[in-house]
Amino acid sequence: MRYCGIIIAFLVACKAAPPTATLPTYEEDLSVHRPEMDTTTVNAEVAKTEEFVPLTGHIKAELDSIVRVSVAQNKEEKLVDGFVIQVYNGNSRDRANEVWRQMDRNFSELSPKISYHQPNFRVKAGRFTDRLKAHRIFQRVKEEFPKSLLVPERLSMTYE
């Protein structure tokens, strides 16, 4: 019975109180800032039959030309899905050079390369299109570089 009184007191104390004040409503008329269109000069039939003419001297034209150049370059460069062995990934240039020298000494046939993608240096080796062959060589590399990874990558056919 004692708990019943405590529960009732708790429920009465938790009852939501009605709001004491109402918030003022906010209204603003922005119609004075809207541009007015003359609807008499817009003819739907003329708009449908007009031929599309690209804008000149506009940022859109410049962006379109950049996109066209990029598409042309992508068509010229042939890419294939493949794998590389990433031996090092970190922000120390000295450590990246050290790992590269060690890779070049022990696995020169994989032609290791250092790349920099801010803020990390990466040492990658090998270019494989066959996952099984990549995995076999990766196991040999992993014995000497335990933190190495087999990474999927798009490989350029015109790789030097």
CATH assignment of the domain containing 135 = 3.30.70.1070
111 in a structural domain = yes
Please state, as a whole number, how many other Cβ atoms lie within 10 Å of the Cβ of residue 1. Answer: 4
More confident residue, 128 or 1: 128
Asked, for residue 42, whether it belongs to a domain, the answer is no
Report if residue 134 sits inside a domain.
yes
Asked if residue 49 has pLDDT above 70, the reply is: no
Q: Is residue 96 part of a domain?
A: yes
What integer is the mean pLDDT of 5-12?
71
The total of structural domains in the chain comes to: 1
Give me the domain span that covers residue 99: 79-156
Instruction: Tell me, yes or no, whether 115 lies in a domain.
Output: yes
Closest CA to 151 of 118, 48, 135, 23: 135
Among the listed ranges 3-17, 44-58, 84-98, 112-126, which one has the minimum average pLDDT value? 44-58
110-134 average pLDDT score = 91
- The answer to whether residue 18 is domain-embedded is no
Asked whether residue 51 is domain-assigned, the answer is no
DSSP 22: P
